[in-house]
Amino acid sequence: MQLTTEQIAQFHEDGYVLVKGVFDPQEDIDPVIEEYKSVLDNLAHDLYAAGEISSRYEELPFGERLIAIYQDSGKVHAQYFDFSLPQANVQADTPFWAGPAVFRMLTNERLLDVTESIIGGEIYSNPVQHVRLKPPERLTPINPETGRVQLGKTPVHQDHGVVLPEADDTQMLTVWFPLMDVNVENGCLCVWPGSHHRGLIDHCPSTRGLSVPGKLLQGKAVPMIMQKGDAVFMHKQTLHASYANTSDQIRWSFDLRYNPIGQPTGRPAFPGFVARSRNHPETMLREPAEWEKLWRDTRDHLATVEDAGSFNRWNADNPVCA
């Protein structure tokens, strides 16, 4: 699945391109959904055994069960589902999920075909990657310290802004796709067309994460209304955010990163891998268990390191943050 000349031109002009039907909903996405049912089972078992929830809620469908468990425990357990590690305070028992169905999405041939259209055939899976299972904000537990929901809308940022300066020259590509139909109501992505032409913009640390101050924004955001199977490919300097989930259901998405092999990832402590190599196919990682072990070994190492370093280049003392 190669991009057309027009699609490639749009990517370079607007900083993104929305591609319909990258994934087969039944063959590609449904196995991921099925795999995460077991992850939720494990979470329910652990919380119930620890006395943190009053029921395992086994009778509920996935989305409703997730919401019930989050509400009953008073916490959002996003790290339990994520296929990355936190940026600080990694422990020997820090949860993560790097299952085979997730690995098959990262190495999906059609996804890599589109990626190759943009960055070439030597493709490295960058470890800046996440799964987002966002409950409706009105049903999401509140952080008592900030008064905000524990997992709400994503603030405006550039993906270039969340990696170290070592990756300033890296041709990092973001791939964002939902595991369901998404719209403004349930919190789809939105992008600022052409914003990548401005280069790296100052970000400010906050309780919601890194964000670009509103006074630095130009133009209007365009909502990425997408169907299950679609994907949006973004330049690393394209401004984007997500809307609040005001629906009654969870909003579920992946965001992945890729870059040409040999270029810094911006997260040197985390493991990436060769997803495709036209020149040296023998270097490609093909076994899901090996990928999971990369993350497990990284967790074990970081749990023994007192200060693994910061992933953040920004300072709240910056005058634009005032």
pTM attached to this predicted model: 0.95
pLDDT of residue 146: 76
How far apart CA 135 and CA 248 sit, in angstroms, is: 8
Tell me if 97 sits within 8 A of 39, measured CB to CB.
Answer: yes
Closest Cα to residue 192, out of 320, 16, 12, 18?
Answer: 16
Helices (H), the chain: 5-14, 30-49, 62-73, 78-81, 100-106, 109-119, 288-302
How far apart CA 258 and CA 306 sit, in angstroms, is: 29
Closest Cα to residue 236, out of 284, 152, 165?
Answer: 165
Domains of the chain: 5-306 (2.60.120.620)
How far apart CA 136 and CA 76 sit, in angstroms, is: 12
Residue 255, C-beta contacts closer than 8 angstroms, at least 6 positions apart: 129, 130, 132, 174, 175, 176
Look at residue 248 and give its three-state secondary structure: coil
Interior angle at CA 220, CA 216 and CA 225, nearest 5: 130
Residue 119, C-beta contacts closer than 8 angstroms, at least 6 positions apart: 171, 173, 258, 259, 260
Closest Cα to residue 274, out of 265, 261, 264?
Answer: 261
Tell me if 98 sits within 8 A of 295, measured CB to CB.
Answer: yes
How far apart CA 7 and CA 26 sit, in angstroms, is: 26
pLDDT of residue 310: 64
Per-residue pLDDT of the chain (322 residues; tens, 9 = 90+): 899 999 999 999 999 999 999 999 999 999 999 999 999 999 999 999 999 999 999 999 999 999 999 999 999 999 999 999 998 889 999 999 999 999 999 999 999 999 999 999 999 999 999 999 999 999 898 888 777 877 778 999 999 999 999 999 999 999 999 999 999 999 999 999 999 999 999 999 877 789 999 999 999 999 999 999 999 999 999 999 999 999 999 999 999 999 999 999 999 999 999 999 999 999 999 999 999 999 999 999 999 987 655 677 888 888 989 8
How far apart CA 250 and CA 35 sit, in angstroms, is: 17
How far apart CA 45 and CA 51 sit, in angstroms, is: 10
How far apart CA 143 and CA 205 sit, in angstroms, is: 17
Phi, psi of 270 (to 5 degrees): -105, 150
Tell me if 9 sits within 8 A of 208, measured CB to CB.
Answer: no
pLDDT of residue 207: 76
Tell me if 35 sits within 8 A of 251, measured CB to CB.
Answer: no
Closest Cα to residue 294, out of 170, 163, 111, 129?
Answer: 129
